[in-house]
Amino acid sequence: MCFFRTINFIKMGFMCMFLLLFSANSSSVFSCQASEPVKVELRADQVFVKNSSALQVNTAVSYELTPLLPQNPMPEGSVNGIYSFAIDGTDDKDLNKILFGQTGLYQYQIKAVTDSDSPCYSYDSQVYIISVYVESHGEELSARYFITSKNTGDKAEILHFGHSYTPLPSSKEDMTDPPVHKTVSGNPHKTSVFLFQLQAEDPDGPMPEGSVEGIKTISIAGSGKGEFGTWSYQKEGNYYYKITEVNTGESRYTYDPVIYTITDMVKDADGQLVVNRVVTNEAKKQIDSCIFINKYENKGSGGGKSTGNSHSDTGSKIIEKGSEDEEEETSSNLDNQVPKGDKEQNKEQGLMGPKTGDDTDHTLYRAMMAAGLLIGTGCTGYLVYSRYQKQEEY
């Protein structure tokens, strides 16, 4: 009898080992049935990032919970062995409870299901495996579950899904690039190179190729035309830029201090970002091109001051032609009106008048001076002769 009892114990031990091994490699194992089933409640968490102000964006995402074995208990509301639900926007949802009446291991799979082929939507491809362990404690059952990622095999704390909507970037080809027109007034003896800058209000904002730290610089030789180029926007918003001329201090130039403002209003239009651009001058008037006029002051054109009034940090260069040059030029012109011989004679006699610009003829004046000199000489001689005669009489 003892021998047979020993054999039975060994058989039961092998059966328990078999059940344990089977439960570790199967989706569910059924054993004891309790009087009251145990329930398991799951919760799914969703984050939906909407990178758009458009109202027609669909932020609802559908999910499916399916058993790995068809005999596994399913939540109420399941159809053909599939439990479906949806979450809208950033939110969470409690799934319908699952009732377990027998001990064992039960496994399920949950994932997001979408039928959208739009490149604007990005859906989480995560697939989770839920393993529920149901145990018996006398006549009562208890359940605990674990969540693992089917993609990586890592353990997860919650059923978390992240999705997003992002419109396609704006088209560079559809952007209007306002040209810069440079005009030079005057007659410079050489062609000078002028610099112009496009500067973003936000240094991290989108800029054309070739920009450095939110600034794009172009050059124009003399009078001419230039462009900064176009760029693309990745998200909605209002963007602001300034177009100005750099004062490089070229001699005799007065720089144009005008400042133009670009306002780009970027919106989502059916999944594509579209740019509405407005370019204005300092008077807030909308313009089509940015015009800069630099004045060149020719040498000997009347003097005065030429100031480079510019916003640039390069500073302003002031070109002056002093009043002394004007006086010398005027004096030279008046001297040229007097014959060379007369000029030397007047200098010797101290008769050169002030350089007032008077062009009166001095011939009569000189004749009167000569006659007066002769009369004076004659009178002096007469007085001397008369005194000499009186001395002889005595």
pLDDT tens digits along 331-349: 344 344 434 444 444 444 4
pLDDT at 26 > cutoff 90: no
Give domain status of residue 268, yes or no.
yes
The predicted model gives 136-160 an average pLDDT of: 94
Banded model confidence at residue 220, pLDDT cuts 50, 70, 90: very high
Same domain? 151 vs 269: no
Last residue in a domain, options 139, 165, 191: 165
Task: Pull the structure tokens for residue 342.
Answer: 């007369």
Give domain status of residue 338, yes or no.
no
Same domain? 159 vs 92: yes
Same domain? 194 vs 279: yes
Same domain? 190 vs 295: yes
Q: CB count, 10 Å around CB of 338?
A: 14
C-alpha torsion 387→390→391→392, nearest 10: 130
The predicted model gives 208-235 an average pLDDT of: 96
Alpha-carbon distance 260 to 282, whole Å?
6
Same domain? 122 vs 198: no
Give domain status of residue 366, yes or no.
no
- Give how many domains the chain has, as a whole number: 2
Last residue in a domain, options 276, 295, 321: 321
Cα–Cα separations (whole angstroms), residue 105 to 44, 98, 201 = 21, 13, 61
Same domain? 161 vs 30: yes
The predicted model gives 110-135 an average pLDDT of: 96
Same domain? 254 vs 144: no
Same domain? 39 vs 147: yes
CB 263 within 8 A of CB 237: no
Lowest mean pLDDT among 40-49, 146-155, 315-324: 315-324
pLDDT for 302 equals: 46
Same domain? 155 vs 186: no
Give domain status of residue 156, yes or no.
yes
Domain of 143, in residue numbers: 26-165
pLDDT for 179 equals: 95
Give domain status of residue 170, yes or no.
no
Give domain status of residue 372, yes or no.
no
Same domain? 53 vs 77: yes
Same domain? 156 vs 250: no
Lowest mean pLDDT among 147-151, 308-312, 370-374: 308-312
Pick 268 or 25 by higher pLDDT. Answer: 268
pLDDT at 76 > cutoff 80: yes
Give domain status of residue 363, yes or no.
no
Report the mean per-residue pLDDT for the chain: 80
pLDDT for 389 equals: 67
Same domain? 107 vs 192: no
CB 141 within 8 A of CB 123: no
pLDDT at 79 > cutoff 90: yes
Last residue in a domain, options 286, 303, 321: 321
pLDDT in tens, 254-275: 999 999 999 999 999 999 999 9
Identify the CATH number of the domain in which residue 61 sits: 2.60.40.3050
Lowest mean pLDDT among 38-42, 72-76, 314-318: 314-318
